[in-house]
Amino acid sequence: MSGQLFNFSSAYENQSAQTLDAALSNCDFYRTWQDHDPGKERSIDERFAALPVLTKKDIRENFPAGFVPKGRDLEAALARKEIEYVATSGTTEEKVTNIWNQRWWDRGEQASWKLNKYLSAVATGEHREVILTSAKSVGFLNDEKDLGLNERRLARFLYLNEKSSPHLWKKKHYQRMADELAEYKPDILEANPSYLSRLCFWALRNKVKLFQPKAVVFTYELPLFGQIDLVKKCFDVPCVSSFGATETGYVFIECEHGRLHQNSDFCRVDFEPFSKKHGGPFVGRGLVTTFHNEWYQLVRFDTGDVLRLAQHKCPCGRSGGYFLQSVEGRLAYCTRGVNGRLVTPAELDRVLFKAADLWSYQLFQSDDKKYLLRLPLSRSADIVDRLVAALKFLYGKNAKIGLEFNADILPGLSGKYVYSQSRLPLEVKDFLA
């Protein structure tokens, strides 16, 4: 499959080998992996495939010394602010403290921009950028009082929101965001799709025209189809999805034809397909190895996300590394059909958007047949019939579907929204081919 559709250059393979050899030799944690390595006489793909998987639990238990190459003075670098510690938010299982290397992050971001013709023309590294996301992710957090524009600026960035949740926004906050977009005139608007879609819903309802940047970049979470639809009704500019993590930097970015291309100058991805029952061989997980980060080396890190590989060449002509049809969402947010088949968040969203143009909802699976869909909408017989039929088609005709209307859909502990969850166990080993 990879030999015909995806191309991996000799430079990529050499960088993979150099990174692996350095990690096994110079990082305390990976020395325990040396016995798994079949040796340099084997291909680099065979060597990587023979290694264990790095988890967030591993990072928590071995941070920071296990992942810093020997010879590096961590304390001195922290003191001169070359690096810093950054903790992710969320549940206990999701929280991780990482070494933040801003220079490496910026270089990886700039490399990813080259994979989209619109961003490569606009994003110079000096461009003006506005960011709209939970202040738990980036920016300046303050739920007690409103911060002025200058209190939410940092270098070339303006953070539109200082709140942990958009449910704390009042009319004045929506109007302030619209006014500041017009005043700041950003080249790029980078946003959580859930947060930006709420601003767009307000703007459309109140007939407010929003300033048009040169591009909108979705980041921090998986955009729902309904959210993308709302944003495109307000912004007549290219909308680009970016995928990565605090730990890994920029891994995939959407090209001008809608495929997500691997940022192969800055990371290696090992794709592990699921079984056919669960969407394989084109659906599976990706394990990320970071390149060029001299302070923090991650090898075969499991981001927890499900990926869907493209099955045809991309019209943009780029073929270096993997490219995706879609990021399907976190494994932790998958559900299962009555026959046990894995249903990804993106698969659920495709069905719900087709049935009812939804841009916010929550679906909970309580057992192998019971599902509850919570909606921030008023009840109508027409929408009940369409949604029940759609969910039975997705999960199985014996699925028991419950609907709750006028529900308050709130973000999770991380400030991001969770749109689907199951009480059934979701162990990746049960789905891998």
298, 330, 362: which is the final residue of a domain? 330
In angstroms, the CA 228 to CA 225 distance is: 5
Q: Are residues 76 and 121 in the same domain?
A: yes
Q: Are residues 143 and 190 in the same domain?
A: yes
Q: Are residues 321 and 367 in the same domain?
A: no
Taking residues 414-420, report their average pLDDT.
Answer: 93
**CATH number of the domain within which 38 lies:** 3.40.50.12780
Q: Are residues 101 and 226 in the same domain?
A: yes
pLDDT digits (tens, 9 = 90+) for 361-394: 999 999 999 999 999 999 998 999 999 999 999 9
Q: Are residues 326 and 344 in the same domain?
A: no
Instruction: Note down the domain range covering 351.
Output: 335-430
Q: Which segment of 149-158, 255-264, 367-376, 410-419 scores lowest on mean pLDDT?
A: 410-419
Q: Which two tokens stand for residue 265?
A: 């100058």
Q: Are residues 283 and 398 in the same domain?
A: no
- Please, which residues have CB within 8 angstroms of residue 352's CB and are 6 or more apart in sequence? 358, 361, 373, 387, 390
Residue 162: is it exposed, middle or buried by C-beta count within 10 angstroms (0-12/13-18/19+)? buried
pLDDT digits (tens, 9 = 90+) for 40-53: 999 999 999 999 99
Q: Are residues 148 and 194 in the same domain?
A: yes
Alpha helices in 92-190 (DSSP H): 102-113, 117-122, 171-184
Our CA dihedral for 144, 149, 155, 156, rounded to 10 degrees, sits at 120
**CATH number of the domain within which 395 lies:** 3.30.300
Q: Are residues 110 and 7 in the same domain?
A: yes
pLDDT-based confidence at residue 406 (cuts at 50, 70, 90): very high
Q: Are residues 382 and 295 in the same domain?
A: no
305, 330, 355: which is the final residue of a domain? 330
pLDDT-based confidence at residue 311 (cuts at 50, 70, 90): very high
278, 300, 330: which is the final residue of a domain? 330
User: How long is the chain?
Assistant: 433
Is pLDDT larger for residue 91 or for residue 397? 397
Partner residues linked to 364 by β-bridges: 372, 421
Q: What is the mean pLDDT of the chain?
A: 95
Q: Are residues 297 and 417 in the same domain?
A: no
pLDDT of residue 1: 46
Q: Are residues 161 and 246 in the same domain?
A: yes
In angstroms, the CA 403 to CA 387 distance is: 9
Q: Are residues 152 and 176 in the same domain?
A: yes
In angstroms, the CA 405 to CA 361 distance is: 10
- Report whether 372 contacts 404 (CB < 8 A): yes
Our count of domains for the chain comes to 2
- Report whether 297 contacts 361 (CB < 8 A): no
